[in-house]
Amino acid sequence: MNLTAANTAIVLDSTADFPDAQEHFPNWRVVPLYVNFGTQSYKDGVELTAHEFYERLRASPELPTTSQPTPGDFAACYADLGAYDRILSIQIASTLSGTYQSAVSAADDRVRVIDSETASVGISLLALAVQRRLERGTTDEEVDELVTRYIATHGLLFTVDTLEFLARGGRIGKAKAFAGQLMNVKPILSIRNGEVIPLKRVRGNRKAFQEFVDALDTQTRDEPGLRVGIAHADAPERLRELEKMVRDLRPQAQIEQETSLGAVIGAHAGPGTVGFFWFTDDDA
């Protein structure tokens, strides 16, 4: 079957941090996760924007919790896409959330659920690569090849102000080795095989920023096929620094997404987090 943007929909969950995806692509939908402050529950990106979340977080005496969408949430979304012959449902790493399993439970014969093995803008960059192929026509086999290559080759670095949020949410993975860090020591982290892993510890934001510079310099080339995404948690000045870095070092690169980390990712990473994502894809 020839898959196109006219006959194939893409479904993300809100951890992709692309809340207005449908405004950009009519064949896209976003299923929200839930953020809970005490007994109050909000749909991520729908009932609680990123800005509202960080304001609420600063004022709240307790840390929020999060929960995955139900299979019914996904089933309702899939049913709403009845005009499409196929649905590619691209979810946050199954090792980080039960969201993938909810999507699988709701899937019918039209739906293929894909484990992105990543989070945040990492999910969106994969979905954008799929969309480019849908717009010219593609096949299941080509999508398979793309997903395999993406998981193997895409880059992701992020740093957090504190590991407290990752630790409390149980998403710390191997980074728990950094939990006893000294004041002003910044952990440089990544996600591999769906797990948060530690790469290095540096002192201060300047040295943390230099790690992003070094990664871009050594792991990429300046070419139009370089796709970049940047995300921040209530730290817009850091986003601007990373954007300038890309423009200076890789002027041919395409910055495909600049966004705030939404409530769910923000609840686990914490304010001050900044993430940098990249993938080389020559498909126009």
Give every residue of the chain whose pLDDT is below 50, as ranges: 169-177, 179-182
| CA–CA separation, 32 and 110 (whole Å) | 21
Would you state the pLDDT for residue 63?
Answer: 86
Cross-strand partners of 115 = 91
Q: Are 277 and 127 in contact (CB under 8 A)?
A: no
How would DSSP label each residue in 184-223?
TEEEEEEEETTEEEEEEEEEHHHHHHHHHHHHHHHH--SS
Amino acid 170: pLDDT: 47
Residues 6+ apart with CB under 8 A from 151: 116, 117, 118
The token pair that represents 84 in the structure block: 């499409």
Q: Which residues have CB under 8 Å from 73's CB, separation 6+?
A: 31, 32, 102, 106
Please, are residues 226 and 278 in contact by the beta-carbon 8 Å criterion?
A: yes
Tell me the residue type at 184. N
Q: Which pLDDT score, from 0 to 100, does residue 177 have?
A: 47
pTM metric for this prediction:
0.91
Where do you find CATH 3.30.1180.10 in the chain?
154-280
Residue type, 130: V
Is the domain spanning 154-280 CATH 3.90.76.10? The answer is no
Residue range 225-244, pLDDT digits in tens: 999 999 999 999 999 999 99
- Token pair for residue 19? 């809340």
DSSP state of 233: S
Number of residues in the chain: 284
Q: What is the pLDDT of residue 18?
A: 96
**Span between the terminal Cα atoms of the chain, in Å:** 21
Q: Are 262 and 19 in contact (CB under 8 A)?
A: yes
Per-residue pLDDT tens digits for 170-228: 444 444 445 444 456 778 888 888 888 888 888 878 888 899 899 999 999 999 999 99
3-state secondary structure of 119: coil
Average pLDDT, the chain: 90
Confidence at residue 13, expressed as pLDDT on a 0 to 100 scale: 98
Spell out the CATH class of 8-152: alpha beta
Q: Would you give the distance in Å from CA 46 to the centre of its chain?
A: 17
Intervals of CATH 3.40.50.10170 along the chain: 8-152
